[in-house]
Structure 1
Amino acid sequence: MLPQTVILPFILALRFCKGSWTEPVSYKHPGNITIAGLFPLHYISDRPDNYSLEEAPEALVCRRYNFLGFRWMQAMIFAIQEINNRSDILPNISLGWQLFDTCNTHARAVTQALHVVDSIYKRPKNMSSFMQCFFKVFGLSALIGPTASDKSIVVSNILSVFDVPQISYGSTSRLLSNKNIYNSFLRTIPNDDEQATAMVELLLHHNWTWVGAVAGDDDYGRPGISRFKEEAEKHGICVEYTAYVSESMSEEHLKQTAREIKNYNATVFVTFISATHLVPLARYLSEYSVTDKVWIASEAWATSDTVRAIDARVFQGTLGIATRGGEMPGFRAFLEGVSPKTQPESPYITEFWEKSFQCNCPDTVCAKTENDGGMSSHNSYAAYHNSLNTENCTGNESLTGDGAITSAYLGWTDLEKSYTTYLAVYVVASALHNISTCVEGKGLLKNGACPYLNNLTTWQLLSYIKKVDFFPPGHDYKFNFDENGDPNASYKLVSWIPKMNCRGNITVDFVHVGNYSSMVTPKWSINESAIYWHKHNDIPKSVCNADCQPGYYKIQLQSACCFKCAECPSGEYSVDINSPVCTPCNLTHRADDNRTSCIPKNEEYIRWSDAFGVTFCVLSGIGILLTLFTAGSFMKMRRTPLVKATNRELSFLLFLSIFCCFLTPLLYLGKPQDWNCKGRTVTFSLSFTFCIAAILVKTLRVLTAFEARIPVTYKKRTKWLGEHVQVFVVMVVSLVQVILSVTWLVVDPPKVMLSQSKTSDISLIVECNVGNLVIMGFVYGYLCLLALTAFVFAFRARKLPENFNEAKFITFSMLIFFIVWLSFIPAYLSTTGINATAVSCIAILSSTFALLACIFFPKLYVIYWTPQRNTVEEVRQNTATHAIRSISKASNRRLKIQNRNRSHSL
């Protein structure tokens, strides 16, 4: 595009400034300021069959008259006349027009654009004034049109070089919003980006996620459908099939496309195509009875009489997205009054009149079209009518009378482009009015300067056109352009509703059923009850698969638009239709049977009423009662030698510790809370620490007392192990554990922990974690160290007679203690949940019963079953016997050593 932009000005300069120019045929009406207009009065043009380059080519022939194009042209004339009759816009200034028939061809549109540029700029008289060729407005001020985007693109490539304002009433291509290329192009119709957005919003409104697409193979269809597909992809709408068609495609290609559309399993088809390109395909859709599709019509054919006339069965139920027009009071009466008498200077009135009344309009009634720069429309048509010997037109025929054929000219459809044409004229008039009323210092030019109408340049007018901001007739909101020269998007939704006409044939009515505005939310406002649906009048579905219901999720298949539904896994749920994933329930909840919500999980812990709970309560109660009974017995017999020998303070400290040990399992029952997680840990560690510390001191006292050697007296060896000193030693030894336990509680205490049960997905284990592992290691390590030391001392003193062989029974208790807790480790690690808690309680109870039974039950036996042994004499005798045995063993050991030494000396 850049080379064309650079070279084109010089080509045009040479053409305008030196060469001759044949002016194309146009409908001119004088005025102080003239506005040009390009309109498609024909659909196609053909070259003659004998076309060759051996001689000068004959004129191209325009065919298939376009009544709508003629009506759009009349809308421009109507608007100019209305403005000229108003006193509040451009007073004392009249607007004129110069109107061209593009014949819907690029060649003619380019020719006419060149003429517009040639008419606007003066030719330089000498080289010094050469640059005036580019900037000085002469007669024409701006150009309105053309209709089709591809025609507007080629025209804008010319006009943008010279900053000639171009305002299209029908071109919607997104390409034209690129101001780097089409800088002087503006439009009064929304661009295809907005239309694509409106289409996607319409699909979402009806939950259509699987659609096909048909686009024109041109600068309107391809960019438009591309933009639609981009927008659709963002919103999860799939477009798996796209067909590009045009009127020039082969019959076989069109048939193949029709068959593909028929066999495609999507119900809804979105289109970006003009009526001209769609009509050939529509005929084959009718031939193949493609009557079960919902067509989303772009504005190019949303209210096309040409398309609806083909086969109502094919397009009934179509939803057309048409540009919203406005009121034009008096326009219909104006159209009805158009005739060779009201527009005698129009070269286009002849064919219009002949087509409307199927007559031949003589020169005395209608103006004749001269050769139009290598194109011919009227002459070829007149020759055709003369060959049919049709009657002559009188010029007095009435467009509303019986003699007129039914055409789109007076058909009250596709009025939107009539209004956008009308609006385009008002845009130019508004800009000119703003220039005429400009106040110096407040203008849009540099330093607030104002341009002047008698010396106006194209770029100055373009600057004011881009800044228009006014209330156009027939609208209740201001009209203005954005930075790309586009207006705010506003569409209406048209439902194609079938009806039976008086001849018994099915026709289609266009019914306004909704509105779209980019300025509000939601953007679509639709009267669903007014829409006609071709299947039982129910909203059709257009999805690749049935929706995945709540409790299921989508699994994407190879195609981006198709999926299958799978039930949510255990522990997960979904509440939305077509949910892409299932949401896991949190740790404390599980999915219900339908997988649509989360419900609380069953909590696993030892309840007071469970078998474990009752058992542990009973065992703890028995242990507590036995402890109280034993302590009571010792209190009762506290004056007997057996109790005195046990150090009453130390024994009762031991009773208290064992009592706390029996209470500890009760903290493992019921739902764990942070407080009992801390309590059970501290109670266990401190109660067993005090208990084992007391046992350690007891064994140490016995061992120290009976290992006294003569002449060292018993009193001297045991004076530091008095009763109060023993209690103090226990407290000091236990203080270390107290410090460790407090540190544990402060730094990282045990707390409630929730974990998934390994045996059931619907159950949750509520338990206590250990908190800081390092501190826990020190706490239990210190307890093991005390137990091991007590066991060693007890084992060494196991044969001493002190207090009825107390050390021997301590040894048994510590041995059982170690066996229990060594067995506990693998048992605890191999179980979880309730079972792990039960193992902990069993270990605590077993070791506590062992301590109580081994240390105190032998003494209870002596107290209650052999009280004769609980005397001072019995204690002394046992002590003396042990002393004699010790002395004897010592003497024997000494003799053996002497004999061994004597034998060595010999």
Structure 2
Amino acid sequence: MASVCTQQGAAHTPAFSVDGDYIIGGVYSIHHNMHTVDNNYNTAPRIQSCTGRVDARGVRLTRAMIFAIEEINNSTELLPGVKLGYQIHDSCASVPVAMHAAIQLLNGNDSVFKSGNNCSHSGVVMAVVGEFGSTSSMSISRVLGPFNIPLVSPYSTCACLSDKKQYPTFFRTIPSDQFQADALAKLVKHFGWTWIGAVRSDSDYGNKGMAAFLEVALREGICVEYSEAFYRTNPRSKIQRVADIIRRSTSKVVVAFVAIGDMKVLLEELAQEPPPPRQWVGSEAWITEPQLLSYTFCAGAIGVAIQQSVIPGFRDFLLDLSPSEVRGSSVLTEFWEDAFNCSLRESELLFLLTCNGQEDLTTLQSPYTDTSQLRITNMMYKAVYAIAHAIHDALFQNVNFTLFQTQKLESKELKQVNFSQNGYHVSFDGNGDPVAFYELVNWQKSERGTIDPLTVGFYDASLPEGQKFLINRKITWVEGGTQVPVSVCSESCPPGTRKVLQKGKPICCYDCIPCPEGEISNMTDSPDCFLCPREFWSNSNRDVCFPKPVEFLSFDEVLGIILAVFSVGGACLAIITAVIFLHHRTTPIVRANNSELSFLLLFSLTLCFLCSLTFIGAPSEWSCMLRHTAFGITFVLCISCVLGKTIVVLMAFKATLPGSNAMKWFGPPQQRMTVVSLTLIQIIICIIWLVVSPPFPVKNLSTYKEKIILECALGSAVGFWAVLGYIGLLAVFCFVLAVLARKLPDNFNEAKMITFSMLIFCAVWITFIPAYVSSPGKFTVAVEIFAILASSFGLILCIFAPKCFIILFQPEKNTKKHLMNKN
């Protein structure tokens, strides 16, 4: 016996229906409340019904769907010869009613819809348009999905519906909240708001939309002071708590991802005690809602909205509603009676007038007749046309399509639609989403004192990054301001500082710490300071690295000039002394001083004075090698001459002793050999030093952080100290011999003057060592020059000054008799 499939329970009557070759279903809310029934399980449940007032905007959207279908049926290009029908159900803004309507569309209206062995008949609808709320659309899509019936929503924006694994047959003509969240986050970032508050509807729309926004905001460096969820049916205490958080917050910007009904409840609570000035950033759900424009403390709000549009002929269609047509529909009857405050039916209410048929829709101030923007209405209009184009393509372009046999529209046909209607492009990506395009809407006060939502720009997600925003009109901000309000937790850190996060606070809350010396930050809000290159240093503002000044002892500075003057003066003094000695070379005092060694000593002293000039000026490879070797050799030559004179004094007095032939062993040849031999040793030391590891110019970056010391590196420290050590050894030896000869008789005993000069020489060079080691930078060179000059002046003044004084001012003492007298 053949089986029969029958419906359980009574069928749910559509609010509007018309037969056709192919039926398009519709499920969306015309009423906003459902009649609740407590079932006692003793009787069969009654059909769920709607209560409350008819939503005028819901009626307009219903009429938009009917208008689009009638326009398509009258078209000779789209589906010619094919009539589309429709079945539109009222979901009462309730998920259970919406699911019941979806099942009704699957089953059809016949109580017995299939007989035989197969009970798989899936109804008569080709596709369904709906729902407004994302939660309801998710439920409907789960019902329709297994039967591969597409659901095209004009207003469900939850990003979760883009998941084709869960919702394979879901499409929409409104952009996903993922695009909206991205647009809102970039809008907030565009105006420099990094410290915001966030409120959301406690629903799939609000929670998932805000989650997507916060994810993008975090990547954009935006911090959220608070994020609160609420729903319009929550206890008033919950709404008050959210309002108080907004009032007490330090952030000046509030991002509201909220449905219209929830936003109205929140603004009503805030109106009891208006908060400090807050810049509202709104989602498309409420930013263009006329009911909310009366809350003047929200003036200056900005947000994204669905593009407003013009549908030719639609207003005339809305106004062309006759009383007879109204009486034929219970929904239109309710709307008519509510709009004109009269009754089309017999009423027991004495104060309610009977409608006389003279009511004029053109005079009605209602969302039904408001066609100034047509945002969601156009989404509905495009949804119907998308389904019609998919059917058209299947019927007239796909020769293998079996629509007439299966009475089903495949989802792949919808994915391939690509057309323009009234200048608005319609297509779907792989997730069933359209290209995201939003208007930027700003609440501005008009001259009449009312608030109007004005379009001030656009956001096009299809454009490259950086070009998605276009603002083409002046924006009015909170409290009518013309300057972009500032909402930051911490002011931007200027160049020269770095950000240090405040403990326990978001990343947007920080302190600005100046960069240390030698480090810079050259951009605003730098997280770190960066070291300057080794040869650069930071300026006082710590935002630029400039080359470190190069310092060396130069002829242009005062210290260098003074030392150069003394150096040249000392050389001139030695030359003048030599001239005096040369002029009086035949006098006893010159002859008694071993004139050959005296002239050689004066020559070496001249070189000693002049060699100090090689220490002044910028070090070069040749000057570094010359300064130390010239100093070492000339000083050894000088000390060798002094040592020779000391030995001559000792030998001369020993020669006066009976039987002594001391001068025979230290005559002029031996004196010359001594000087040459001792100097040759120093020359050999210097040659070895220059060959093995010569001095070289170097940039000293360690002594001072802020400047470069240009100096000569020793190359080999052993070579340097060997040169100095050899000079010191000769000086000590000379000093010892001079001390031994200091008490010898005669008025002119040169050993006394040599002793004193060697005492000064040794004292200078002993104090030189610690001063040289501890002196920084160019002062190291100055100390070395000072030691050379001091010891050279000590020698020339102690040895030659007394003789020159006698020659020039006491010639009477310049006799052999006076010199030979013993004290």
The 8 Å contact of residues 291 and 314 in structure 1, kept in 2 or not, is answered as no
CA-CA distance at 1:345 after TM superposition: 7.0
User: 1:898 — aligned with what?
Assistant: none
Amino acid at match of 1:72: L
Out of 387, 407, 413, the residue aligned to residue 366 of structure 2 is 407
User: 2:100 — aligned with what?
Assistant: 111
Amino acid at match of 1:620: S
Check 1:793–1:256 CA distance in 2 against 1; reply closer, same or farther (3 A cut): closer
The 8 Å contact of residues 304 and 439 in structure 2, kept in 1 or not, is answered as yes
In 2, Cα distance between equivalents of 1:833 and 1:682: 19
Matched, 1:78 2:67: yes
In 2, Cα distance between equivalents of 1:628 and 1:871: 24
Check 1:34–1:770 CA distance in 2 against 1; reply closer, same or farther (3 A cut): farther
1:240 alignment partner, SS class:
strand
Matched, 1:194 2:179: yes
The 8 Å contact of residues 699 and 793 in structure 1, kept in 2 or not, is answered as no
Amino acid at match of 2:683: S
CA-CA distance at 1:837 after TM superposition: 5.5
CA-CA distance at 1:106 after TM superposition: 0.8
Check 1:138–1:652 CA distance in 2 against 1; reply closer, same or farther (3 A cut): farther
Say which is worse superposed, 422-431 or 834-843, in terms of deviation. 834-843
1:323-722 → structure 2 map (5 Å cutoff): 323-339=306-322, 348-362=331-345, 387=349, 390-393=352-355, 397-401=359-363, 404=364, 406-412=365-371, 415-436=374-395, 438=397, 451-454=401-404, 461-475=410-424, 478-498=425-445, 507-518=450-461, 519=463, 521-527=466-472, 529=474, 531=476, 533-535=478-480, 539-544=484-489, 556-557=501-502, 558-560=504-506, 568=514, 588=537, 590-591=539-540, 611-630=558-577, 632=579, 646=596, 654-655=604-605, 657-667=607-617, 675-676=618-619, 681-695=624-638
Amino acid at match of 1:843: A
Check 1:530–1:789 CA distance in 2 against 1; reply closer, same or farther (3 A cut): closer
User: 1:316 — aligned with what?
Assistant: 299
In 2, Cα distance between equivalents of 1:739 and 1:76: 105
In 2, Cα distance between equivalents of 1:833 and 1:872: 53
User: 2:135 — aligned with what?
Assistant: 150
Deviations 1:81-117 (A, max 9, x none): 3333334434444433332222111111222233344
1:284 alignment partner, SS class:
helix
CA-CA distance at 1:687 after TM superposition: 1.7
User: 2:243 — aligned with what?
Assistant: 258
Matched, 1:213 2:158: no
1:794 alignment partner, SS class:
helix
In 1, Cα distance between equivalents of 2:321 and 2:787: 110
Matched, 1:847 2:786: no
Amino acid at match of 1:782: A
Say which is worse superposed, 690-699 or 716-725, in terms of deviation. 716-725
CA-CA distance at 1:418 after TM superposition: 1.0
- RMSD over aligned Cα atoms: 5.0
CA-CA distance at 1:636 after TM superposition: 6.6
The 8 Å contact of residues 214 and 271 in structure 1, kept in 2 or not, is answered as yes
Say which is worse superposed, 569-578 or 831-840, in terms of deviation. 569-578
Say which is worse superposed, 347-356 or 417-426, in terms of deviation. 347-356
In 2, Cα distance between equivalents of 1:626 and 1:472: 108
Deviations 1:579-628 (A, max 9, x none): 76778888555326xx8888999997767576534432332232121233
The 8 Å contact of residues 732 and 762 in structure 2, kept in 1 or not, is answered as no
Matched, 1:794 2:777: no
Deviations 1:473-515 (A, max 9, x none): 323xx543344333332211223334587xxxx7533222222
In 2, Cα distance between equivalents of 1:712 and 1:479: 129
User: 2:50 — aligned with what?
Assistant: 61
User: 2:725 — aligned with what?
Assistant: 785
Say which is worse superposed, 785-794 or 97-106, in terms of deviation. 785-794
Sequence identity of aligned pairs in percent? 29
CA-CA distance at 1:243 after TM superposition: 2.5
The 8 Å contact of residues 770 and 776 in structure 1, kept in 2 or not, is answered as no
Out of 225, 237, 245, the residue aligned to residue 222 of structure 2 is 237
The 8 Å contact of residues 419 and 426 in structure 2, kept in 1 or not, is answered as yes
1:415 alignment partner, SS class:
coil
Check 1:188–1:853 CA distance in 2 against 1; reply closer, same or farther (3 A cut): farther
CA-CA distance at 1:195 after TM superposition: 1.7
Deviations 1:431-477 (A, max 9, x none): 3444445478xxxxxxxxx644435696x8322323444334323xx
CA-CA distance at 1:715 after TM superposition: 9.2
Deviations 1:178-214 (A, max 9, x none): 3332333232222222222322333334433333222
CA-CA distance at 1:302 after TM superposition: 1.5
In 2, Cα distance between equivalents of 1:749 and 1:598: 25
Matched, 1:301 2:297: no
In 1, Cα distance between equivalents of 2:362 and 2:285: 27
User: 1:278 — aligned with what?
Assistant: 263
In 2, Cα distance between equivalents of 1:95 and 1:108: 25
The 8 Å contact of residues 654 and 690 in structure 1, kept in 2 or not, is answered as no
The 8 Å contact of residues 132 and 153 in structure 2, kept in 1 or not, is answered as yes
Amino acid at match of 2:613: L
CA-CA distance at 1:169 after TM superposition: 1.4
2:131 alignment partner, SS class:
coil
Say which is worse superposed, 28-37 or 830-839, in terms of deviation. 830-839
1:400 alignment partner, SS class:
helix
Check 1:111–1:792 CA distance in 2 against 1; reply closer, same or farther (3 A cut): same
The 8 Å contact of residues 245 and 278 in structure 1, kept in 2 or not, is answered as no
Check 1:797–1:339 CA distance in 2 against 1; reply closer, same or farther (3 A cut): farther
Deviations 1:633-654 (A, max 9, x none): 6777899867977569965873
2:454 alignment partner, SS class:
strand
CA-CA distance at 1:699 after TM superposition: 7.7
May I ask how many residue pairs the two structures share in their alignment? 796
2:211 alignment partner, SS class:
helix
Deviations 1:269-311 (A, max 9, x none): 2111111222223322223344843322211111113333xx4
In 1, Cα distance between equivalents of 2:407 and 2:720: 98
Check 1:765–1:573 CA distance in 2 against 1; reply closer, same or farther (3 A cut): closer
Out of 96, 100, 119, the residue aligned to residue 85 of structure 2 is 96
In 2, Cα distance between equivalents of 1:421 and 1:16: 38
CA-CA distance at 1:328 after TM superposition: 2.0
Check 1:57–1:32 CA distance in 2 against 1; reply closer, same or farther (3 A cut): closer
1:591 alignment partner, SS class:
coil
1:664 alignment partner, SS class:
helix
The 8 Å contact of residues 326 and 332 in structure 2, kept in 1 or not, is answered as yes
In 1, Cα distance between equivalents of 2:584 and 2:327: 143
CA-CA distance at 1:522 after TM superposition: 4.2
Say which is worse superposed, 56-65 or 102-111, in terms of deviation. 56-65
The 8 Å contact of residues 206 and 258 in structure 2, kept in 1 or not, is answered as yes
Matched, 1:33 2:22: yes
Can you give the 5+ residue segments of structure 2 that lack an aligned partner in the other structure? none
Check 1:336–1:700 CA distance in 2 against 1; reply closer, same or farther (3 A cut): same
Say which is worse superposed, 253-262 or 388-397, in terms of deviation. 388-397
Deviations 1:113-167 (A, max 9, x none): 33344469x999777x78xx4xx98743322221111212222333344443222
User: 2:12 — aligned with what?
Assistant: 24
